[in-house]
Structure 1
Amino acid sequence: MAERDTTGQRPIGFKRLLHVAAIAGAVALAGCQTVVPRGPAPVKRSPVTRPVQPQQPVVEQGIPTDTQRHRVALLVPLSGPNAGVGQSLANATQMALLDSKNERIRITSYDTATGAALAAQKALADGNQLILGPLLADDVRAVAPIAHRAGVPVVSFSNDATAAGNGAYLMGYVPAQSIGRVVDYAREQGVTTFGGLVPNGTYGQRASTAFLRAVESAGGQVASLQTYDRVPGSITSAIIRMSKSAPYQAILIADGGNAASAAVPVLRKNGMGGARVLGTELWNSESSIASKPALEGAWFASVSDGLYRQYAARYRARFGAAPFRLSSLGYDSVLLTIRIMRDWPMGAAFPEDRLKDRGGFAGIDGAFRFGRDNVAERALEVQEIRGGTTVTISPAPSGFER
């Protein structure tokens, strides 16, 4: 503490002390006077503090805002009769993201079973810049014009070539390509005379057209082409009609494995047992096709199964069930997106022109590229059913010539 400075002060005199005391006494008497109260003293009140309402979190409609990932919609049936294949496609897309360790793509699934057009509108409202799917051709036709108006391309899993165009691209296995490939291989092996059995309906009509064109292009001859209904006895009647133009070196059965397997004994009974049986891409989607003894030695063209078998094993380990064969389309559609992503700035529209890259793309199902008709052209191999399994007898090309 600093000491007070007293230098230069004079002592206080007696008279001055009396004067100070008199003033003090007057102040004391004044303090003893009675004061009439004028009312209660005002009570000081504490300011009222209103309780602070907790701030409510902002809830965004749709998927959250994301500036670090591209938004991609997956339109597949997740309910109804096709829910199994739709869920398998959805699982495959997520598996592709995990396998590639890609964190720049967000895939959101939308159920087309409740309305493909509504699913597309919701996907576009959520800001998706690319649509993978739908699966069914009718759904593609419903979605394509909606997406096209928004400038968003559609990469579908359908195999109906008539649904392509208007911003819609098809990744499905088109029967015309499978038929053309197996006919070309048969022609290379010396086959010149062909016969055909095709079911009535849209698939059969397209298979018939593809078969006639492929044989003509290869320099062969179709001696007989018969149609049948998928009812008991119809295919037998068609085979009997076909027998009138025998012999044949090869006969195409443009149907599933069960129908083809049932037809072969009838062919043998009617003198056509020596003809090589040819199948279509439908056979590749049937896991039990190789176990049908009647089809021993049959040929069919399809996408390669080498990488698919590895994929299927990983799928079973991750999801506890076998995948649908078509699920590889979902996996490959993600690989395609990742490939193009290098030229896709964040927040910008998807670069649709890159889908027409003539060098094509690679995936579980081998090399493919989209042609002028927006349909995937695929590098196919020819397989033979032999000893309860399928054996590749003509490998698929590894790529395309530009």
Structure 2
Amino acid sequence: MFAVFKSARKGINLVFLLFSAVIVAACQAPTMRSGPTINTSNPVPVALLIPGESASAGDNIIARSLENAARLAIADLDGVQIDLRVYNTAGQADRAAAVARTAVDDGAKIIIGPLYGQSANAAGVALSGTNVNILAFSNQPSIAGGNVFVLGNTFENTADRIVSYATQRGLRDVMIVHGADNVSEAAGRDALLRSASNYGANVTGVSSFEMSQQGVINAVPAIARDAQSSGAQAILFASGTEGALPLLTQLLPENGVSPSTTQFIGLTRWDIPSATLALPGVQNGWFALPDPSLSSAYASRYQASFGEAPHPISGLAYDGIAAIGALVRGGNSNALTKSALTQSSGFAGVNGAFRLLPDGTNQRGLAIAQIQQNQVIVIDPAPRSFSGSGF
């Protein structure tokens, strides 16, 4: 069984940004329908679907954080009025579908949430004939499309960032390592394979292991031999810190694959929990993360407003409100149509630049960080717009 580190709260840097600058104005007048007509002179009815009233204490904590973040975003809007209506889904797909229909019956012009992929899919099906778009908190591309957009950072987005960065620095021969018979690890593997193809990386091998401690121990010698014999310059790990990554990065160096000579690169964040940063095997490793300065400013603002640290995904609720506010500020009655939501210039959120794509997925600006002496060092900053590098 893998060891699971307890999450440690990071110290909050009390640096406040001017949050009105976080929200960018809509730059393109939409020309296509696929969304309700709104009166931008009046408060815009927005439904927020959160997993409140759940049997899970964790769901209720997330629900509170998402609602707080949405209200914080509304307070930061300049010249835009949002009529926020909150609906609890209890983390259940059937209830999410029911309250989504209720929200539209109540006059909602757009929906932010729900949290889980199944719930978002159910809500999307329930509203398929209503012309109302959904900005879900999920990061699953499989549920995106039609009237459903996902706000969560996807494996595809992270894979593109890390693979493009690696190839730009001459690391074109890469090996992919993932857990077998696991949906998340398989999705990560596939995202890395697609990104390797898109950015001209040569995949020297794809190795897997059984999802258990003994499975990793048994597989590592062969993985190490494959890495050495194939000439891989980098190893791309689909596993995260909550799973096999700590053991993989411990055992591979013991079997002759050193992170000082073979670049270790993660598809997931290696700074959560912070205890991971002290592991010898992750030193020199690369991973992608949202703009740290913006994330820190948001955490500081949230802490000051609500007396507690925000849940890591709460910024998605803020981003949803920020995008809506930016579009409504333009004064167009079709501000919430699909073509408006997918404007190429995107939006600026609390974790950096992001934009929604016509297929329902998204792109988010990410920084590349390296672990050096147990600390996170940004080696390539996150882009602040879609006109520069990093996408």
The alignment's TM-score, normalised by the length of structure 2, stands at 0.80
Match of 2:47 in 1: 73
The 1:312/1:293 distance shift into structure 2, 3 A limit, reads: farther
Q: Deviations over 1:103-140 (max 9, x none)?
A: 61011211112521122122112211110011111111
- 1:180-238 per-position Cα deviation (integer Å, ceiling 9, x unaligned): 21122122222232222212322222211221222233333222212233322112223
Partner of 2:344: 358
Q: Structure 2: which 5+ runs fail to align?
A: 1-40
Kindly indicate whether residue 246 of structure 2 is the aligned counterpart of residue 265 of structure 1. no
Q: Distance in 2 between matches of 1:95 and 1:209?
A: 37
Shift in alpha-carbon separation, 1:285–1:332, aligned structure 2, 3 A: farther
CA distance in 2, matches of 1:117, 1:285: 33
Q: In 2, are the aligned partners of 1:368 and 1:376 still within 8 Å (CA)?
A: yes
What is the deviation of 1:302?
A: 2.6
Which residue of 1 is the match for residue 291 of structure 2?
304
Larger Rg: 1
Correspondence 1:108 to 2:85: yes
- Counterparts of 1:149-164 in structure 2, within 5 Å, are 149-164=129-144
Cα distance in 2, alignment partners of residues 161 and 210 from structure 1: 11
Q: CA deviation at 1:285?
A: 5.5
Asked if the contact 2:162–2:287 (Cα under 8 Å) also holds between the matched residues in 1, the reply is yes
Taking the aligned partners of 1:287 and 1:312, their CA distance within structure 2 comes to: 16
* C-alpha contact (below 8 Å) 2:80/2:328 kept by paired residues: no
After superposition, the Cα gap between the structure-2 partners of 1:392 and 1:236, relative to the gap in structure 1 and judged at 3 Å, is: same
Matched, 1:374 2:360: yes
Distance in structure 2 (CA, Å) of the matches to 1:162 and 1:371: 14
* Residue matched to 1:388: 374
Q: Does 1:123 align with 2:98?
A: no
Count of aligned pairs: 335
Report the CA distance shift for 1:319/1:111 in structure 2 as closer, same or farther (over 3 A).
same
The equivalent residue for 1:229 is 210
Distance 1:292 1:312, change over 3 A: farther
Cα deviation for residue 345 of structure 1 reads 6.0
Distance of aligned partners of 1:87 and 1:199 in 2 relative to their CA distance in 1, 3 Å threshold: farther
Shift of the alpha carbon at 1:70? 1.1
Within 2, Cα distance between the matches of 1:230 and 1:90? 36
1:335 match: 322
After TM superposition, list the pairs within 5 Å mapping 1:247-258 onto structure 2: 247=228, 248-258=232-242
* Separation of aligned partners in 2, 1:106 and 1:399: 29
Q: CA RMSD in A?
A: 2.2
- 2:271–2:376: 8 Å Cα contact kept in structure 1? no
The answer to whether the 8 A contact 1:224-1:242 is kept is no
User: What secondary structure does 1:110 align onto?
Assistant: strand
What is the distance in 2 between the residues matched to 1:190 and 1:374? 32
CA change 1:72–1:282 in 2 (3 A) is same
Over 3 Å counting, the alpha-carbon distance change for 1:268 and 1:281 in structure 2 is closer
